[in-house]
Amino acid sequence: MRRLRNIKIVATLGPASNDYDTVRKLHEAGADVFRLNMSHGTHEEIRARHEMIRQIEKDLDSPIAILADLQGPKLRVGTFANGEEELIEGAAFRLDLEPEPGDATRVQLPHPEIFAALEVGSHLLVNDGKIRLRVKSCGLDHADCVVTTGGTISNRKGVNVPDVVLPLAALSDKDRKDLEFAAALGVDWLALSFVQRPEDVEEARALCGGRAAILSKIEKPSAVACFDDILAVSDGIMVARGDLGVELPVQNVPPIQKRLIRKCRAAAKPVIVATQMLESMIDSPMPTRAEVSDVANAIYEGADAIMLSAESAAGSYPVEAVTTMDNIAVEVESDPTYRDVIEASRAAKRVTIADGIVAAAREIAETTDIKTICCFTQTGTTAALVARERPRVPIIAMSPLRGTARRLALTWGVNCVMTGELERFKQAVVNAARAARTLGYAGEEDQILVTAGVPFNQTGTTNILRVAPCDERLIYRTDPE
């Protein structure tokens, strides 16, 4: 399905988007990737949504990526005898392992691993940072704190610990079961929550066994601190700004977002910007001007994808939210300033033959009347390298592997087309010309660029760049057998 923009849209499915007609409308409105939130819904409900997406993919003959988002460990306080208490700034408050209901002076925190990591001066944030505590003294079973920001605390509110790396695995027992279920189901991407170190990603990859690509969610300061190492072992990144904005000063998030996007682009790995992008559209058919600017900024920064969460999962206007995001993207990408920003942020990287091939393809396309770049790819690497260049012309990725085509639905500017196994380069050129014409990117009188690797059907062999006509008769006249 041809899009009029390059950035991709991720839409979360939920109660508001739980039937065939709505999900199909979401895809037709612009959703390229569907997110299945493993925090909500049973395995049977997740399976039903997965089957629905695959049916839509078949009906529309349009590769769709499915992303399963693992919940990660959830750190929460216990319960209160009165259901809630008011904490006053400057008051003392104790967290401990005792199971008795809490009061205005203490509450259970049933996570001994937190106490093992705390130090004097560490901060604990409760209820998305609305309540802030500073540790005055601590032991293996308690922490005596002072309330630095007061407010109402109630049963089982979430706890964030921004100052320390917690001795917690990114995968809980629930996550391990969900990972195995989702990987066996056939999802294309697995999003890993609570990533603190590269070892968290490597553990998930070992359990996944190559059945899905691994996307690391950056939502903790410790992940930002060792981001380069996490990026190196990840297939993609999600900038999860919600938790980042809780655990870090909010003014730190925008520069971090920009920095992470540039690093992902340099590594030719897709990056999603997520959280609160069009949040007001949960209840309103129109976004705020600030939200529109927020979405636009992510597009100007060169992100691969922007994501809707509750807007499409539980909101009153799921299709309108996707349509709005699509409209913003089309408008931004038609702005001459967009090209100026994207090209100014392009970092030259010439390490391999494939790097040189894709850079040359982009330069030729921009200095001649080339209509599209067609790349043949087994694993998706060549298409990702072409996308890293952010060319001005469309990218068509052709692969015999449906899994590769689906995963590339998350990558900037890539239009995925299934093709058969190839044995000769002439076949590749003919298939590329047909795809360019079918998608409406070129006519018979136009020229395209074709990249491929010979021998075919082997990974890491990108070594050919050919300017070719879209007229098959000319291809057969000029290309040797």
Residue 236 has pLDDT above 60, yes or no: yes
Cα(265)–Cα(347) distance, rounded to whole angstroms?
9
* Number of separate domains in the chain: 3
Same domain membership, residue 120 and residue 64 = no
Residue 339 has pLDDT above 60, yes or no: yes
Q: What pTM was estimated for this model as a whole?
A: 0.93
Residue-level pLDDT at 37 = 96
Cα(478)–Cα(29) distance, rounded to whole angstroms?
41
Average pLDDT over the chain, rounded to an integer: 94
Same domain membership, residue 474 and residue 399 = yes
Cα(339)–Cα(12) distance, rounded to whole angstroms?
29
Domain contains 128: yes
In order, the DSSP letters of 148-169 are EE-EEEETT-BEE-TTS--S--
Look up residue 378 and give its two tokens.
């087994």
Catalytic residue flag (residue 275)? yes
Continuous segment of H or E residues that includes residue 426: helix 425-438
Same domain membership, residue 176 and residue 116 = no
Domain contains 2: no
Q: Cα dist. 279→20, 241, 349 in Å?
A: 24, 13, 37
Same domain membership, residue 194 and residue 149 = no
Domain contains 21: yes
φ and ψ at residue 192, rounded to 5 degrees: -105, 120
Residue-level pLDDT at 432 = 93
Cα(22)–Cα(38) distance, rounded to whole angstroms?
20
Same domain membership, residue 429 and residue 281 = no
Same domain membership, residue 31 and residue 154 = no
Domain contains 343: no
Question: Which position among 5, 8, 12, 275 bears the catalytic label?
Answer: 275
Domain contains 272: yes
- Summarised one tens digit per residue, pLDDT across range 119-171 is 999 999 999 899 999 999 999 999 999 999 999 999 999 999 998 888 888 89
Question: The CATH number of the domain where 139 resides is what?
Answer: 2.40.33.10
Continuous segment of H or E residues that includes residue 171: none
Residue 456 has pLDDT above 80, yes or no: no
Cα(147)–Cα(283) distance, rounded to whole angstroms?
34
Residue 417 contacts residue 428 (beta carbons within 8 Å): no
478 pLDDT band, cuts 50/70/90, is: low
Question: The CATH number of the domain where 397 resides is what?
Answer: 3.40.1380.20
Which of 276, 301, 332 finishes a domain? 332
Could you give the percent of the chain with pLDDT greater than 70?
A: 98
Residue 402 has pLDDT above 60, yes or no: yes
Q: Give the residue-averaged pLDDT of 339-365.
A: 88
Same domain membership, residue 450 and residue 382 = yes
Catalytic residue flag (residue 462)? no
Same domain membership, residue 58 and residue 182 = yes
Q: Give the residue-averaged pLDDT of 441-462.
A: 84
Question: Which position among 47, 54, 74, 76 bears the catalytic label?
Answer: 76
Contacts of 62 (CB under 8 A, 6+ apart): 1, 27
Residue 481 has pLDDT above 60, yes or no: no
Residue-level pLDDT at 13 = 98
Q: Give the residue-averaged pLDDT of 257-283.
A: 96
Cα(468)–Cα(476) distance, rounded to whole angstroms?
11
Residue-level pLDDT at 244 = 92
Domain contains 295: yes
Question: Which position among 49, 157, 205, 217 bears the catalytic label?
Answer: 217
Same domain membership, residue 433 and residue 321 = no
Question: Which position among 8, 35, 197, 241 bears the catalytic label?
Answer: 35
Catalytic residue flag (residue 437)? no
Question: The CATH number of the domain where 219 resides is what?
Answer: 3.20.20.60
Residue-level pLDDT at 475 = 77
Same domain membership, residue 192 and residue 313 = yes
Cα(28)–Cα(439) distance, rounded to whole angstroms?
15
Domain contains 462: yes
Same domain membership, residue 140 and residue 182 = no
Domain contains 400: yes
Residue-level pLDDT at 479 = 62
Tokens 């990702």, residue? 384
Catalytic residue flag (residue 371)? no
Same domain membership, residue 381 and residue 285 = no
Angle in degrees, CA 12, 18, 19, rounded to 5: 130
Q: Which of these ranges, 101-110, 324-333, 356-365, 415-424, has the smallest mean pLDDT?
A: 415-424
What residues make up the domain containing 394? 353-478
